[in-house]
Amino acid sequence: MIAEEKVLEEKEKVEKVDETKKSKTSKGADTMESLIEEMGDRLLPFAEGEMVEARILAVGGNRIWVDVAGQSLGFIPEKEITSKTGLKIGDEVMATVISMEDEEGNVVLSMKRADREKYWVEMEKAFESGEPITIKISDANKGGLISDVGGILGFLPVSQLAPAHYPRVTGGDKDEILNRLRQYIGEEFNVKVITCEKETNKIIFSEKAVKAAEVKQKIDKFNVGDVISGKITGIVDFGLFVSIDPEIEALVHISEISWTRVSDLHRLFKVGDEVKTQVISVDDGRVSLSIKRLLPDPWARAAAKYKVGDIVEGEVTKITAFGAFVSLDPEIDGLVHISELSSERVVDPSQIVELGKKYKFAIISIETDNHRLGLSMKIGKKAKEEDAKVEAKEEKTKAAKKDVKEESAEAVEDKKKAEKTTKKASAKKIDKKDLSTSLSSSLSDESAHLRVDDRSGKMTKTTKKTKTKTVDEVMAE
C-alpha cells in the first residue's frame, strides 16, 4: 500500500508539471522560450532509444515503477525486466527508453535493452584495454562455450580454452566433446575479449589469452633443436599433446611420431606416458615437437638400397582415393598413385589392389629429403608377366629334364634285362655242351663193360642194358 501511495504522489507531481507545461504553452512562443530558460537542460533530458538512469519507486505485479530523470513517471514491463532479484525502492537502474509516452502518458522503459547496451559498452572497453573480464557460461555447443548477457551471446571457442579446460577426447568424438563442455555450464571463466563487433553482434573470448604474455615469455625460452621430456596429456587422431610446462602444451603431429607410417597412436602410447622429444618449431605462441627426429632416418639408407627402375615387391598397407601405400620393408613405404595402377583409367584403387596383398612394382622416383618413394604398377605388371614367362620356361626345362631322366632310367632297365637274357642263353648253351660231354663219357664207360665170350667168340655186355637218352631229352628234363 505504501508503495502504491508513493506512486500516486509521484504521478500527481508529474501531472502538475504537465499542467504547468500546458498553461505555459498556451500563452505562446514567448512563454515557451521563458519555459526553456526556466527548465534549462532539465527540459526533456532524454529521447526515445536513449539509455537513462531511473530511480525505483515500486516493485510489484507485472512492472517496476520508476522516476525518470526527475521529469517523468515511467515503468518497466515485466518482459523488459532483466531480473527483480535484489531490487528495492530507491535503487538506481539503467534503462532504455522504448516509448516517450503510452496511452496514459507514462514513459515505457526496458532494462534488458539497457543491459545489452551496457554490455556492449563494457565489451568495447575490455577489447580496447585488453584487460581480463569474468563471464558466466550459460550454454555449450560442439565448438565451444556460450555466455549470454542481456540477450547478447559471447562465444569462447574450444581452441581458446586453457589447457586445463581443453576437452581431450579419444577419436575426436564430437558428442563426447559436447558432454565435457556442458560440465562447465554455470561456471565462471576469466577471459579476454579478442573480437568485438557490435554491428554483427559478434563477441569472441579467449581464456588462454589471459596468461598469453606470461606463457609467451616461457615459450620464447625454447629453441629449435632443444631436446625436452614431457608427459602425454592427450591423444587425438592428428597427434599427441605433451605437457612441457604447467601452462604449456606442445603438439607432436602424427607425421612426427615415426619415420614409418603410424595408423593407431593408441597402440603405441597412453595418457601419462613420458616421452623424449625435440623442438622443431616455435611459432605464434605454439611449440611443435618431434619424436622421430631423435631416431635414425631410414631414408638415408633408402637412397643406397633402392634405385629408380628397380622392380620390387611390396605389401599394400593402405588404400586411399588417390592411390595406395605400399610397404617395401619395415622402415620404407612407397606410394603408387592411382594413375600408376593401370594403363587404363582407374576410378577405385581397391578394384586393382587388395589390402594386405603383395604385388610387383617399379620404382619411378625417390625423394630422400622429402621421404617420398614413387611406385608404378604398370611397369610392375610387365615385370610380373616377364617373371611368369621365365617361370613357365623353367618349368618346361624341368619337365624336359625329368622326361630325359625317366627315358634314361628305362633304357638302363632295358639294357639290364637284355644282359640278363643274354647271360641266361649263354648259361643254357654251356649246360647243353657239358651234358653232351657227360653223355659221351657215359657211352664210353658202357663200351668198356663189353667182353668176348670165350666159348662162342662173341662180344657180350657184362652189365644190364640201359636206355640211352638223347641230349634234347635230357635238356627237356
Beta bridge partners of 58: 65
* DSSP per residue, 383-406: HHHHHHHHHHHHHHHHHHHHHHHH
**Top-ranked range on mean pLDDT: pick from 42-56, 248-262, 456-470:** 248-262
Write down the architecture of domain 227-294 according to CATH.
Beta Barrel (2.40)
Which residues make Cβ contacts (< 8 Å) with residue 298, sequence separation at least 6? 259, 260, 331, 332
Please tell me the distance from the alpha carbon of residue 173 to that of residue 142, in angstroms, as a whole number: 10
Q: Which of 218, 216, 157, 215 is nearest to 189 (CA)?
A: 157
Grid cell in block for residue 51 = 539509455
Pairing type for strands 72-77 and 51-60 reads unpaired
Q: Residue 310 above 70 pLDDT? A: yes
| 38 band by pLDDT with thresholds 50, 70 and 90 | low
Could you read off the pLDDT of 194-210 as tens digits, one per residue? Answer: 999 988 889 999 998 88
User: Residue range 416-437: average pLDDT?
Assistant: 61
Please tell me the distance from the alpha carbon of residue 426 to that of residue 423, in angstroms, as a whole number: 5
Q: Residue 438 above 70 pLDDT? A: no
Q: In terms of C-beta distances under 8 Å and separation of at least 24 residues, what long-range contacts does 395-399 make, across chains too?
A: none
Grid cell in block for residue 273 = 606416458
What is the distance between the terminal CA atoms of the chain, rounded to a whole angstrom?
163
Please tell me the distance from the alpha carbon of residue 341 to that of residue 302, in angstroms, as a whole number: 23
Angle of helix 2-26 relative to helix 29-39, nearest 10 degrees, comes to 140
| 386 band by pLDDT with thresholds 50, 70 and 90 | low
- pLDDT the model gives residue 27: 45
Q: Which of 176, 166, 173, 188 is nearest to 248 (CA)?
A: 166
Ordered alpha helix ranges (H), 250-365: 299-305
Length of the chain: 477
Grid cell in block for residue 259 = 619415420
- Contact between 337 and 323 under an 8 Å Cβ cutoff? The reply is yes
Beta bridge partners of 147: 154
CATH number, domain 130-206:
2.40.50.140
Q: Would the CATH topology of 2-115 be identical to that of 227-294?
A: yes
Could you read off the pLDDT of 229-277 as tens digits, one per residue? Answer: 999 988 888 899 999 988 888 999 999 998 877 878 888 999 889 999 9
Question: What topology is assigned to 2-115 in CATH?
Answer: OB fold (Dihydrolipoamide Acetyltransferase, E2P) (2.40.50)
* Assessment of whether the complete model's pTM goes beyond 0.75: no
Lowest mean pLDDT among 14-28, 48-62, 82-96, 210-224: 14-28
Please tell me the distance from the alpha carbon of residue 428 to that of residue 420, in angstroms, as a whole number: 12
Lowest mean pLDDT among 6-10, 165-169, 395-399, 451-455: 451-455
Distance of alpha carbon 213 from the chain centroid: 32
Grid cell in block for residue 80 = 523488459
Domain spans, the chain: 2-115, 130-206, 227-294
Strand order in the sheet with 144-149: 133-136, 188-197, 202-206, 152-157, 144-149, 139-141
Q: What percent of the chain shows pLDDT beyond 90?
A: 33
Residue in the structure block whose three cell numbers are 641266361? 424
Which residue did the predictor score with more confidence, 22 or 217? 217
Give the 3-state secondary structure of residue 353: coil
Q: Which of 132, 130, 94, 129 is nearest to 114 (CA)?
A: 94
- Contact between 118 and 111 under an 8 Å Cβ cutoff? The reply is no
Which residues make Cβ contacts (< 8 Å) with residue 78, sequence separation at least 6? 62, 63
Q: Which of 63, 32, 66 is nearest to 46 (CA)?
A: 66
